[in-house]
Structure 1
Amino acid sequence: MDRYCFTLDLKEDKKLIETYKQYHRSVWPEIKDSLRDVGIENLEIYLVANRLFMIMEVDDEFTFEAKKKADLANSKVQEWEKLMWNFQQPLPWAKSGEKWVMMDQIFEL
């Protein structure tokens, strides 16, 4: 199993952040299914201030290309992503169009 870590910022607005948290307390079933269908076995998101941190554990068949293709073909995923972008903002160093930025591991015990 591989693990990937990502980060992204939310807009600095307490009301928007609270609404974002509420959506993630009851993620749409279609979104959960879409994650499992591409080989994501575990996914956790953490929040401090307006900074998000995501840990994604995937099976051996997972590829980012297959996930992107499946996401583009899934209207519910597209609807969810459009909705979430109302709360999210790109990191200053993100590439154009990039939302979640993959982090580099620098230590392991």
Structure 2
Amino acid sequence: MQRFAFRMQLKPGMVDDYRHRHDEIWPELVDLLHDAGISDYSIFLDEATLSLFAVLRLAEENRRESLPDEPVMKLWWAAMAPLMEVEPDNRPREWPLVPMFHMA
């Protein structure tokens, strides 16, 4: 199991909407993420910059790279696109984070 972290960027005024949508995350999306080998997924907000910092665990044999092809993932990204910076296919823009320290 490996940890993976990245940054995303919210648009101004979208914090409450972003939190609300994740409070009511679709069960079929959660199932898809678990089936793809993703677990222990957390997203943190830096209120000063509206940066979102995501940390998750990836199974050794994960299918994270196949998620853009999944219909439920495409629907989720389309629903979230008005709230954050996205790529042309509505995938959230991600900036990978470099591990600097970990204490187990």
Normalising by structure 2, we get a TM-score of: 0.82
1:30-109 matches, within 5 Å, as: 30-49=28-47, 50-62=50-62, 66-72=63-69, 74-89=70-85, 99-109=93-103
1:53-96 Cα deviation digits (max 9, x unpaired): 1001111212xxx3232431x22210101111110126xxxxxx
1:19 is the counterpart of 2:13: no
Identity %: 24
Return structure 1 stretches of 4+ with deviation > 4 angstroms.
none
For structure 2, list consecutive stretches of 5 or more residues without a partner in the other structure. Answer: none
Match of 1:54, SS? strand
Structure 1 vs Structure 2 CA RMSD:
1.7
Structure 2 letter corresponding to 1:59: A
Whole-angstrom distance in 2 between the partners of 1:70 and 1:46: 22
Change (3 A) 1:9 1:98: closer
How many residue pairs are counted as aligned between the two chains? 97
Structure 1 letter corresponding to 2:76: W
Match of 1:12, SS? coil
Normalising by structure 1, we get a TM-score of: 0.79
Whole-angstrom distance in 1 between the partners of 2:67 and 2:6: 20
